Chains A and B, each alone.
Chain A
Amino acid sequence: SYELTQPPSVSVSPGQTARITCSGDALPKQYAYWYQQKPGQAPVLVIYKDTERPSGIPERFSGSNSGTTVTLTISGVQAEDEADYYCQSADSSGTYPVVFGGGTKLTVL
Chain B
Amino acid sequence: QVQLQESGPGLVKPSQTLSLICTVSGGSISSGSYYWSWIRQPAGKGLEWIGRFYISGITNYNPSLKSRVTISVDTSKNQLSLKLSSVTAADTAVFYCARTPVGPEYYFDYWGQGTLVTVSS
In this complex, the interface size class of chain B, counting residues with CB under 8 Å from chain A, is 20 to 34
B26 on the interface (CB 8 Å rule)? no
* Given contact pairs A1-B64, A98-B37, A98-B52, A45 touches B47 in the complex (Cβ within 8 A): no
Kindly state the separation between the CA atoms of A30 and B64 in the bound complex, as whole angstroms: 21
Kindly state the separation between the CA atoms of A86 and B46 in the bound complex, as whole angstroms: 8
Instruction: Pick the interface stretch among A11-19, A59-67, A71-79, A89-97.
Output: A89-97
Kindly state the separation between the CA atoms of A101 and B52 in the bound complex, as whole angstroms: 19
- B75 neighbours in A (Cβ, 8 Å): none
Kindly state the separation between the CA atoms of A98 and B105 in the bound complex, as whole angstroms: 11
Kindly state the separation between the CA atoms of A48 and B60 in the bound complex, as whole angstroms: 21
B46 close to A45 (CB less than 8 A): no
B105 close to A97 (CB less than 8 A): no
- A102 neighbours in B (Cβ, 8 Å): 46
**Contact of A48 (CB < 8 Å), options: B52, B63, B105, B113:** B105
A90 close to B106 (CB less than 8 A): yes
A43 close to B63 (CB less than 8 A): no
26 CB contacts below 8 A, A to B, read A1-B63, A33-B105, A35-B108, A41-B113, A42-B96, A42-B111, A42-B112, A42-B113, A43-B108, A44-B111, A45-B109, A48-B105, A49-B105, A88-B107, A95-B63, A96-B62, A96-B63, A97-B60, A97-B106, A98-B37, A98-B52, A98-B62, A100-B46, A100-B47, A100-B48, A103-B47
Chain A residues proximal to chain B, CB less than 8 Å: 1, 31, 33, 35, 41-45, 48-49, 54, 86, 88, 90, 95-103
Closest 8 CB pairs of A and B: A98-B49, A42-B111, A33-B107, A100-B47, A103-B46, A48-B107, A102-B46, A49-B105
